[in-house]
């Protein structure tokens, strides 16, 4: 099946620093990638939808200047948390699909746990 | 709007018990329905799906039937194992759209 990887799997950083998380589709070309945030014992909250070669579409309430998303190629999307603060600590999960319709299954990465001290 | 409501957890069962996790939905269009499973510390894995009314999705002993008349997609398994302990998410996607809409998740713990 299709494999999506994330790197790093966990990261600890100091408040005020920026952190970059990578999401890669390993064996297929991902025209669309999604970034989710998951708080402890809660559901996934969609942050943004990223189509290759175009700007990401952010969900309401998500600060685009805080969470920078780049989908530079068909196999890589990055999420940069800028000037991270403790409230940004969370589990970030990406997913990828090879098509732009709902008929194409989304494949999820294993997640990245971010802890901001 | 589109939304998914799941049975509140946590759910604790003994091994070999019968499992039902309820899921109902509201949708403005025609949805495809999914169950995802998340094991501790991991991302989500697709467990099963159904794309039209009366379809039954099944995998690893789990089943769910797409019931349009009751707008439901309940997850069932006849005999659970300790290894089934995880968080289960019901989700929908409107056909023709891109976004998955998730339920709040149900934490399942199976005791030996």
Q: What string of DSSP letters covers B66-108?
A: -BTTTTB--EEESS--GGG-EEEEEEEEETT---EEE---EEE
Chain B residue numbers touching A110 (CB-CB < 8 A): 42-43
Answer whether residue A106 shows pLDDT above 80.
Answer: yes
Q: Could you report the per-residue pLDDT of A11-63, keeping only the tens digit for each?
A: 999 999 999 999 999 988 888 999 999 887 778 889 999 988 888 999 999 99
Q: Could you report the per-residue pLDDT of B88-105, keeping only the tens digit for each?
A: 999 999 877 778 999 999
Q: Could you report the per-residue pLDDT of A68-84, keeping only the tens digit for each?
A: 999 888 899 999 999 99
Chain B residue numbers touching A42 (CB-CB < 8 A): 104-105
Chain B residue numbers touching A10 (CB-CB < 8 A): none
Task: State the smallest CA–CA distance between residue A65 and chain B in angstroms.
Answer: 22
Average pLDDT over chain B, rounded to an integer: 93
Average pLDDT for A91-114? 84
- Closest chain A residue by Cα to residue B99: A102
Contact of A30 with chain B, judged by CB distance below 8 Å, is answered with: no
Q: How confident is the model at residue B47 (pLDDT cuts 50, 70, 90)?
A: very high
d(CA A85, CA A115): 9
Q: Write the residue in B46, B96, B102 that is nearest to A44 by C-beta.
A: B102
């Amino acid at each position: 099946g299709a494999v999506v990887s994330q790197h790093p799997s966990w990261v600890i950083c100091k408040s005020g620093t920026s952190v970059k998380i990578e999401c890669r589709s390993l064996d297929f070309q991902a025209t669309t990638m999604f970034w989710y945030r998951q708080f402890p014992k809660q559901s996934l909250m969609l942050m943004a939808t990223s189509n290759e070669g175009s700007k990401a579409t952010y969900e309401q309430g998500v600060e685009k200047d805080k969470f920078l998303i780049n989908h530079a190629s068909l196999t890589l999307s990055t999420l940069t948390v800028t000037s991270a603060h403790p409230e940004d600590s969370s589990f970030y999960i990406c997913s990828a699909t090879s098509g732009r319709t709902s008929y194409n299954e989304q494949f999820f990465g294993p997640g990245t746990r971010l802890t901001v001290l | 709007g589109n939304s998914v409501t799941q049975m509140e957890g946590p759910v604790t069962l003994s091994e070999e018990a019968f499992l039902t996790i309820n899921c109902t939905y509201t949708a403005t269009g025609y949805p495809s329905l999914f169950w995802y499973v998340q094991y501790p510390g991991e991302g989500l894995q697709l467990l099963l799906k159904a794309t039209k009314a009366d379809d039954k999705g099944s995998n690893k002993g789990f089943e769910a039937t797409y019931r349009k008349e009751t707008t439901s997609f309940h997850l069932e398994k006849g005999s659970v194992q300790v290894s089934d302990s995880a968080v289960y998410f019901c989700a929908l996607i409107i056909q023709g759209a891109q976004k998955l809409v998730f339920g709040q998740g149900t934490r399942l713990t199976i005791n030996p």
